[in-house]
Amino acid sequence: MTEAFTSEVGWGVLHLFCKLRADTDGEAVIMAVKAAAEGQQVVPFSVFGHKADMGVMAVGADWIRLRALQAALQAARLEVVDSYVSMTEVSEYSQGMPAEHLDARLHPVLPPTGKRAICFYPMSKRRGEQDNWYALGYEARKALMMDHGKSGRTFAGRIVQLITGSTGLDDYEWGVTLFGVGLDDLKDCVYTMRFDEASTRYAEFGAFYAGIVGDIEEVAAQVGLQVADA
Ligand code: 76R
């Protein structure tokens, strides 16, 4: 066994977006996800549209195990067509919030029950000539994020959001993973937040993925993974 590779604060988060190939071994995919789900959290989901067939969001303390999941899916001949590397974190604007709230950000329990719709997209805060988030003082940024939190809380019960930090780890600064009761909840939430000044003026987004969360057998059936009859 390779020695674990952990971070002092926060868990690793690996989103893998995969396409099926003609020779993908469905059973090996299922086994890879089940093996990874021992001791870390793995959320499989089917993906709509041409960008990918299925996705896996894996969250855990040991980066070696996250990487091993990627290797096992590739060994099962799934093609990883996109990915995102980030970490759980407590926002610098959340300091002073109750300890349980902060711990839920660092150590989330996934997937949230009753929320089968998922979307993922990466985002950064703009560093333009006019609107540069990083040139604002802390108090100004905090006020904008408090407004953002207020509009976000109107989606309590419909949306669970997980914002994971990726500055220096991937192309954008955060990964945004939203779980919703339905896809309409995700759409409403993201649309509403476009009007938060923090997003209107300062947000930049990457590619969006949307799908349905399920256990790996359900997802395998939805995306048409070939599993030999038992
Ligand atoms: O931790 C907290 O819940 C406190 C309030 C809060 C913070 C600090 C909060 C609440 N967010 C915070 C930080 Mn958020 N969030 C996004 C997006 O699509 C867009 O326009 C932006 C993508 C959505 C949809 C969303 C939803 N949030 C952040 C940060 C980090 C900023 C930093 O640290 O600099 C980003 C990038 C970001 C982006 N946010 C909420 C939501 C929702 C629904 C809430 C309320 C959640 C709840 O109370 O459970």
224 occurs within a structural domain: no
197 lines ligand 1 (CB under 6 A): no
State the virtual CA torsion across 104, 107, 113, 118 in degrees, nearest 10.
100
220 occurs within a structural domain: no
Q: How far apart are CA 2 and CA 65, in angstroms?
A: 9
| Global pTM value | 0.96
118 occurs within a structural domain: yes
- Residue 229: predicted pLDDT: 62
- Supply the range of the domain harboring residue 165: 107-211
157 occurs within a structural domain: yes
pLDDT digits (tens, 9 = 90+) for 60-108: 999 999 999 999 999 999 999 999 999 999 999 998 899 999 999 999 9
Q: Would you state the structure tokens that stand for residue 20, as one six-digit string? A: 């099926």
151 occurs within a structural domain: yes
Q: How far apart are CA 11 and CA 9, in angstroms?
A: 7
Separation of CA 154 and ligand 1 centre (Å): 12
Q: Would you state the structure tokens that stand for residue 38, as one six-digit string? A: 């021992």
CATH number at residue 163: 3.30.70.1030
Separation of CA 33 and ligand 1 centre (Å): 29
Q: List Cα–Cα distances, 171 to 110, 121, 124, 165, 196, in angstroms.
A: 24, 12, 9, 11, 23
Separation of CA 150 and ligand 1 centre (Å): 9
pLDDT digits (tens, 9 = 90+) for 40-58: 999 999 999 999 999 999 9
Write the single-letter amino acid at 128: G
Closest CA to 38 of 60, 63, 16: 60
Q: To test the ligand 1 pocket, which listed residue (118, 139, 145) has its Cβ within 8 A of the most ligand atoms?
A: 145
196 occurs within a structural domain: yes
**Atom 32 of ligand 1, residue of closest alpha carbon:** 91
**Atom 45 of ligand 1, residue of closest alpha carbon:** 152
| Cβ-based neighbour number of residue 7 at 10 Å | 12
Positions marked active-site: 121
Under a CB-based contact definition with an 8 Å cutoff, are residues 46 and 214 in contact?
yes
pLDDT digits (tens, 9 = 90+) for 184-225: 999 999 999 999 999 999 999 999 999 999 999 999 999 999
194 occurs within a structural domain: yes
**Atom 36 of ligand 1, residue of closest alpha carbon:** 174
55 occurs within a structural domain: no
Number of domains in the chain: 1
